[in-house]
Amino acid sequence: DSGVTQTPKHLITATGQRVTLRCSPRSGDLSVYWYQQSLDQGLQFLIQYYNGEERAKGNILERFSAQQFPDLHSELNLSSLELGDSALYFCASSNSGRDNEQFFGPGTRLTVL
Protein backbone atom coordinates (compact mmCIF):
# COMPACT_ATOMS: atom_id res chain seq x y z
CA ASP A 1 0.00 0.00 0.00
CA SER A 2 1.59 3.25 -1.20
CA GLY A 3 -0.56 5.52 0.96
CA VAL A 4 -2.08 7.20 -2.11
CA THR A 5 -5.81 6.65 -2.50
CA GLN A 6 -7.91 7.03 -5.62
CA THR A 7 -11.65 6.88 -6.11
CA PRO A 8 -13.52 5.39 -7.78
CA LYS A 9 -11.72 2.15 -8.69
CA HIS A 10 -13.86 1.62 -11.74
CA LEU A 11 -15.99 3.98 -13.78
CA ILE A 12 -18.16 3.15 -16.75
CA THR A 13 -19.76 5.96 -18.68
CA ALA A 14 -20.92 6.98 -22.13
CA THR A 15 -19.37 9.13 -24.83
CA GLY A 16 -19.95 12.84 -24.37
CA GLN A 17 -20.21 12.58 -20.60
CA ARG A 18 -18.07 14.21 -17.92
CA VAL A 19 -16.41 12.45 -14.97
CA THR A 20 -14.29 13.43 -11.99
CA LEU A 21 -11.51 11.28 -10.60
CA ARG A 22 -10.26 11.90 -7.11
CA CYS A 23 -6.86 11.43 -5.50
CA SER A 24 -5.61 11.80 -1.95
CA PRO A 25 -1.80 11.94 -1.69
CA ARG A 26 0.32 10.38 1.02
CA SER A 27 0.33 12.31 4.25
CA GLY A 28 2.87 15.14 3.97
CA ASP A 29 3.29 14.95 0.19
CA LEU A 30 2.82 18.28 -1.54
CA SER A 31 3.04 17.14 -5.17
CA VAL A 32 0.37 15.28 -7.06
CA TYR A 33 0.80 13.89 -10.56
CA TRP A 34 -1.78 12.49 -12.94
CA TYR A 35 -1.05 9.83 -15.56
CA GLN A 36 -3.03 8.06 -18.23
CA GLN A 37 -2.16 4.50 -19.22
CA SER A 38 -3.75 2.92 -22.24
CA LEU A 39 -2.76 -0.34 -23.92
CA ASP A 40 -1.41 1.27 -27.06
CA GLN A 41 0.31 4.32 -25.57
CA GLY A 42 1.91 3.25 -22.33
CA LEU A 43 2.10 5.60 -19.37
CA GLN A 44 1.55 9.25 -20.27
CA PHE A 45 2.23 12.08 -17.86
CA LEU A 46 -0.70 14.51 -17.82
CA ILE A 47 -0.11 17.17 -15.21
CA GLN A 48 1.56 17.93 -11.87
CA TYR A 49 0.42 20.13 -9.00
CA TYR A 50 2.58 21.30 -6.15
CA ASN A 51 0.97 22.73 -3.04
CA GLY A 52 -2.09 23.88 -4.96
CA GLU A 53 -0.31 25.34 -7.97
CA GLU A 54 0.17 23.81 -11.40
CA ARG A 55 3.86 22.84 -11.69
CA ALA A 56 4.21 20.97 -14.98
CA LYS A 57 2.07 19.98 -17.90
CA GLY A 58 2.43 16.94 -20.08
CA ASN A 59 0.20 15.58 -22.82
CA ILE A 60 -3.05 16.71 -21.29
CA LEU A 61 -5.97 17.35 -23.64
CA GLU A 62 -7.94 20.58 -23.45
CA ARG A 63 -11.02 18.50 -22.53
CA PHE A 64 -9.21 17.47 -19.35
CA SER A 65 -8.53 19.68 -16.37
CA ALA A 66 -7.24 19.20 -12.86
CA GLN A 67 -6.90 21.04 -9.62
CA GLN A 68 -5.37 20.57 -6.21
CA PHE A 69 -7.30 21.76 -3.18
CA PRO A 70 -6.03 23.36 0.05
CA ASP A 71 -6.16 19.97 1.79
CA LEU A 72 -3.86 18.73 -1.02
CA HIS A 73 -6.28 16.25 -2.52
CA SER A 74 -6.62 16.53 -6.28
CA GLU A 75 -9.31 15.98 -8.87
CA LEU A 76 -8.98 15.22 -12.56
CA ASN A 77 -11.97 16.26 -14.65
CA LEU A 78 -12.53 14.61 -18.01
CA SER A 79 -15.23 16.04 -20.24
CA SER A 80 -16.78 15.34 -23.65
CA LEU A 81 -15.54 11.80 -23.23
CA GLU A 82 -14.53 9.78 -26.27
CA LEU A 83 -14.01 6.05 -26.69
CA GLY A 84 -10.26 6.64 -26.81
CA ASP A 85 -10.29 8.07 -23.30
CA SER A 86 -10.84 4.57 -21.92
CA ALA A 87 -7.72 3.90 -19.87
CA LEU A 88 -6.26 3.49 -16.41
CA TYR A 89 -5.73 6.84 -14.71
CA PHE A 90 -3.07 6.90 -12.03
CA CYS A 91 -2.36 9.51 -9.46
CA ALA A 92 1.04 9.68 -7.78
CA SER A 93 2.45 11.85 -5.03
CA SER A 94 5.86 12.92 -3.82
CA ASN A 95 7.09 15.17 -1.07
CA SER A 96 8.52 17.82 -3.38
CA GLY A 97 9.37 18.24 -7.03
CA ARG A 98 9.95 15.80 -9.85
CA ASP A 99 13.35 14.72 -8.63
CA ASN A 100 11.83 12.53 -5.99
CA GLU A 101 10.41 9.07 -5.85
CA GLN A 102 6.74 9.08 -6.76
CA PHE A 103 4.27 6.85 -4.99
CA PHE A 104 1.44 5.67 -7.20
CA GLY A 105 -2.15 5.08 -6.23
CA PRO A 106 -4.05 1.96 -7.35
CA GLY A 107 -5.60 3.76 -10.32
CA THR A 108 -9.09 4.37 -11.67
CA ARG A 109 -10.14 2.26 -14.63
CA LEU A 110 -12.32 4.35 -16.92
CA THR A 111 -14.40 2.67 -19.59
CA VAL A 112 -16.19 4.86 -22.11
CA LEU A 113 -18.94 3.07 -24.05
* Subset of residues 39 to 98 that bind other proteins, contact rule: CB under 8 A: 41-45, 48, 56, 58, 90, 98
Task: State in angstroms the smallest separation of the CB of 80 from other proteins.
Answer: 25
The answer to whether the CB of 60 falls within 8 A of the CB of 46 is: yes
Site for other proteins in 2-21 (CB under 8 A): 2
Q: How far apart are CA 21 and CA 94, in angstroms?
A: 19
Give the distance, in angstroms, between the CA of residue 38 and the centroid of all CA atoms in the same chain.
13
Kindly state whether residue 25 participates in binding other proteins, applying the rule CB under 8 A. no
Query: Would you tell me which residues interact with other proteins (CB under 8 A)?
Result: 2, 33, 41-45, 48, 56, 58, 90, 98-107
